[in-house]
Structure 1
Amino acid sequence: MTAYAEKKARLLRIVDGALQAVAPDPALRAAVKREGNILAVDGRKYDLDDYDRVLLLGAGKASAAMAATMEDILGDRLDSGLVATKYGHGLSLARTEVMESGHPVPDEAGVRAAGALLERAADARERDLILFLLSGGASALAPSPLGAVSLADKQEATRRLLECGAAIGEINAIRKHLSRFKGGHLAETLAPATVATLIISDVVGDRLDVIGSGPTAPDDSTFPDCQAILDKYRLCHRMPDSVVRAVADGCAGRAPETRKAGDLCFARVRNSIVAGNAMAVHGAATAARDLGYTPVVVDLAMEGEARDQAARLIRLAGKYSLGGGETRPPVCLLAGGETTVTIKGGGKGGRNQEWALAAALEMTALGDAGERISAMSLGTDGTDGPTDAAGGMAFPDTACGERSEAAGRALAENDAYHFLDGAGALLRTGPTRTNVMDVAAVLVDPA
């Protein structure tokens, strides 16, 4: 058993604090209240007597859990519902049908889910109130390929974008322009119904046009932006021909753009964020404080290569460990956001596991200062990459001595999963039914 069992227990307490702070049920109940026939959503009141039907629609990793809460709030005033979520994240609900599909690479089940959602949206009428439940993962979970672009083409495009290290905003810009569902197109289909979208954000800056690729929000990105992304990552010769042609047709004005601000389809749509990454970081900070650590929030917009961000935070922790920080240990450094991994090896892992492995190597490089540091990086949805782990942990002994060379090889091969698993340093939470990007915590103990 590792000598750092107590530190591991502390990190797990911080994980629990982060996840509890962004659980869908309390987040929704804070934003949605019902008194009789008056439903208040983020401060705006809707008189249920004004509507013939109240319907739930949704997509994302948290959508089933969100629907469960909304069923309880609405009671028998809810007519029906349909949500699309990730495999293993579904629930058995009384009035809402739950469809499960693939993530991060879309599959045929997702195409069926998107088709069912669009069919119900097309049936919406002027005296309907639609509560749309949106959370991270919706882009992949509800694919609706446009024109000559097939599902297989979208799958390949998604893989290529993930592998090259493109940011989520760049990935979603491409997705929106290849979809009948995203980029405001769902709002267009729902019109003229009244729409209240409740959002759990998984995007740095909580940009409405990026979360779930913005099905009910105006889109600022354009076909020329998509072309620039393909050029930036030199993807034109690695993407399916249909995708390259679709972008070129859009740039030439031969394909319709996504819906933009000012379009009439948004006249009766309101988007409200009920939970986001900052809330998870705050929950982690509260848990750290309860453990006797002074929380220091370093970054709420952590982006870039996972290994680089890990090294940056561990080096800062080393400064605190040597007494050079603004606060004396015990200190908990916190960061939130979403990093990326440029895949160059053939290993297994995810961005949070790669972060943890790089953090362990950086601890070893710090020498004595690293002996007082432990760290974790968590994917709040409970899934980090194509693995059963939510992230990873790092301790002073994780990559020290004889393990250092093996750790370096694993990092070079993007094989953090197998190394951390062997070291007993994987984080496994199971499906959390929420998704607000990632939370990283670094504990610095006193000498």
Structure 2
Amino acid sequence: MIKRKVLQDLKNIYLNGVAAVTPEKLITKNVSVENTKTVTICDKKYYVENGCYVVGFGKAVLGMALSLEKTLGETLKAGIISVPVGILNTIKTEFNLKDTNLRILEGAKDNLPDQQAENNSKEIVNFIKDLHEDVLLIVLISGGGSALLPLPKPPLTLSEKLAIIKHMTSAGATINELNMVRKQLSVLKGGGLAEIVSPRQTVSLIISDVIGNPLDFIASGPTVRNCDTRIEVQQVFEKYNLKSLIPTVLYEEIFSENNFRLISSKESKIEDYSHIDNYIIGNNGIALQKAFNVAESLGYAACILSGNVEGNVDEGSAKYVELTELIKEFLLIEAPAKQHFFEKFKALRIFFNIAHETEEKLYQTILRFKEKTVTDICLLMGGETTVIVSNKNGLGGRNQQLALQFSIDMSKLDESTPNLPKAILLSAGTDGIDGPTDAAGAIGFAKQFDMAVNLGIDPMLFLKENNSYNYYKNLKEGKYLIETGHTGTNVMDLHVLIITNSDFVSE
């Protein structure tokens, strides 16, 4: 049997997935210059007789803008971007920030809208309004863009808007629900920026941090038509009881007959959006494919299950344990029928949003493991789960919470199947930040439960208090935390599940 360093492999697979969606790689792949008057973006030629300008907002925008400046050279005349607080000091970049002609503004500490981000939004608007109408404007958008573009509709204040979003987040709102509300409370989101840039020819280059890559939800869709219906928005407002948190005059405006963003996806203050081309140049699928390639190169039987994992971490952990249990059961059956496997897998397929053809690939992967033509399995998923926060004094994020929950749930399964392969799960954000912590995520497995108890640590208490970060800090001196710092990109989370006979606990 191959002796593996499973913990090291997990981290390598994750890090390579993240590396595949760095802004530098994505910009270089999708933007080129033929001459000072012609720019090719995603295989389409744009003529820049009066120069090219750039604005941007998001966690990945610093790298995107600097790469764009290097690629375009003198064709790029000026630009202004809004990036997270601290990213200039923590991100590793090949570029010398002293050489840039771009204005780089910081805001949104801990990925929360703040006064700095609001001021940056006003600066971006003023920059655009001062541009000649015959220029090419490039808008750079990535995850975190919503927090960095928080210009609330008057008379709503930023603090009131922040309280509404915190209220929804604590109640377990999905990213789509949050974005739906943000669009209604913001000047620039939900197509608002598209109105301001008109009639200038505009190209949006987008790194997606939303499941399914819907353009109108990424950074709350500032450059695309809002497709939310009145009924959908009303349902979300009622679900989270938002009416009492919003000034009456604004609430009435949002739900008035004249609010174009709620009437129809075909109506707008501007007749069409032909002046804007939107391109997604990076997403979770690219990261997963690279992670898959690396896992295969390391000798694992790898399979990408889904890039659409969502839902609460409690249910997510339960489903990962159920998947592991199904695989273990499959290993015990002497001649397992394929149809039997598919029937038992049905609920998992629905939760993970797995395509039917992927189900067959998974079956063949597990079959290879059973027949011992491979020694280890690596299953790859991506997406974004949610956490219902019951203790606001706890410290952690959805990925660390998922790893902790998984370790607790798996400890029960391993007790009943002590001689079968073990499962180990890495869950981490591609942006390098999981909640208001300096960790991207964590690694969870069953034996951690016993480790913690032997150290006098109660895993259940830390889980209940949403204090997963401090749990992992106290366990083996943070050995199982994934700490990368700002990665400079963001395409949601990566989940790497390895099932192996290797003794990774002793690593």
Specify if TM > 0.5.
yes
Q: Which among 388, 392, 411 is matched to residue 342 of structure 1?
A: 388
**How far is the alpha carbon of 1:265 from its aligned partner?**
5.1
Unaligned runs of 5+ in 1: none
CA distance in structure 1 between the partners assigned to 2:25 and 2:195 by the alignment: 30
- Which residue in the other structure is 1:392 paired with? 442
Structure-2 change in CA distance of 1:261 and 1:133 (3 Å)? farther
Moved more, 359-368 or 200-209: 359-368
CA distance in structure 1 between the partners assigned to 2:143 and 2:319 by the alignment: 27
- Which residue in the other structure is 1:241 paired with? 246
CA distance in structure 2 between the partners assigned to 1:228 and 1:109 by the alignment: 32
- Which residue in the other structure is 2:279 paired with? 272
CA distance in structure 1 between the partners assigned to 2:439 and 2:29 by the alignment: 30
TM-score normalised to structure 1 length? 0.93
- Which residue in the other structure is 2:50 paired with? 52
Q: Any idea what the Cα deviations from partners look like across 1:199-258, whole Å, max 9, x if unmatched?
A: 000000000000001110111114543331121234444xx232x652343213365537
2:256 counterpart of 1:252: yes
- Which residue in the other structure is 1:407 paired with? 459
The count of residues paired between Structure 1 and Structure 2 equals: 439
CA distance in structure 2 between the partners assigned to 1:6 and 1:128 by the alignment: 54
Q: Any idea what the Cα deviations from partners look like across 1:25-77, whole Å, max 9, x if unmatched?
A: 111111112222421111111123xx312101101001111001100110011
Contact kept, 8 Å, 1:56 with 1:82, in 2: the verdict is yes
1:218 maps to a residue whose letter is: R
Q: Which among 59, 62, 82 is matched to residue 61 of structure 1?
A: 59
**How far is the alpha carbon of 1:119 from its aligned partner?**
0.8
1:26 maps to a residue whose letter is: K
- Which residue in the other structure is 1:155 paired with? 162
Structure-2 change in CA distance of 1:177 and 1:402 (3 Å)? closer
CA distance in structure 2 between the partners assigned to 1:236 and 1:350 by the alignment: 28
Moved more, 135-144 or 408-417: 408-417
Moved more, 325-334 or 66-75: 325-334
**How far is the alpha carbon of 1:123 from its aligned partner?**
2.1
Structure ID, larger Rg: 2
Q: Output the aligned Cα RMSD.
A: 2.2
Contact kept, 8 Å, 1:33 with 1:40, in 2: the verdict is yes
Contact kept, 8 Å, 1:106 with 1:140, in 2: the verdict is yes
- Which residue in the other structure is 2:412 paired with? 365
**How far is the alpha carbon of 1:334 from its aligned partner?**
1.1
- Which residue in the other structure is 1:6 paired with? 5
CA distance in structure 2 between the partners assigned to 1:70 and 1:153 by the alignment: 36
CA distance in structure 2 between the partners assigned to 1:265 and 1:64 by the alignment: 30
CA distance in structure 1 between the partners assigned to 2:329 and 2:172 by the alignment: 34
Q: Any idea what the Cα deviations from partners look like across 1:306-358, whole Å, max 9, x if unmatched?
A: 12112212331343345544441411111111111111124211011111111
2:383 maps to a residue whose letter is: G
2:435 maps to a residue whose letter is: G
Structure-2 change in CA distance of 1:75 and 1:235 (3 Å)? same
Contact kept, 8 Å, 2:59 with 2:145, in 1: the verdict is yes
CA distance in structure 2 between the partners assigned to 1:117 and 1:412 by the alignment: 42
- Which residue in the other structure is 1:101 paired with? 107
The alignment-based identity, stated in percent, is 30
Task: Indicate the SS of the match to 1:171.
Answer: helix
CA distance in structure 2 between the partners assigned to 1:163 and 1:323 by the alignment: 39
Q: Any idea what the Cα deviations from partners look like across 1:182-202, whole Å, max 9, x if unmatched?
A: 111111101111001000000
CA distance in structure 2 between the partners assigned to 1:339 and 1:282 by the alignment: 20
Structure-2 change in CA distance of 1:77 and 1:376 (3 Å)? same
- Which residue in the other structure is 1:417 paired with? 469
Contact kept, 8 Å, 2:431 with 2:490, in 1: the verdict is yes
Contact kept, 8 Å, 1:375 with 1:440, in 2: the verdict is yes
Unaligned runs of 5+ in 2: 332-365, 370-374, 503-507
- Which residue in the other structure is 1:435 paired with? 490
CA distance in structure 2 between the partners assigned to 1:162 and 1:62 by the alignment: 23
Task: Indicate the SS of the match to 1:138.
Answer: coil
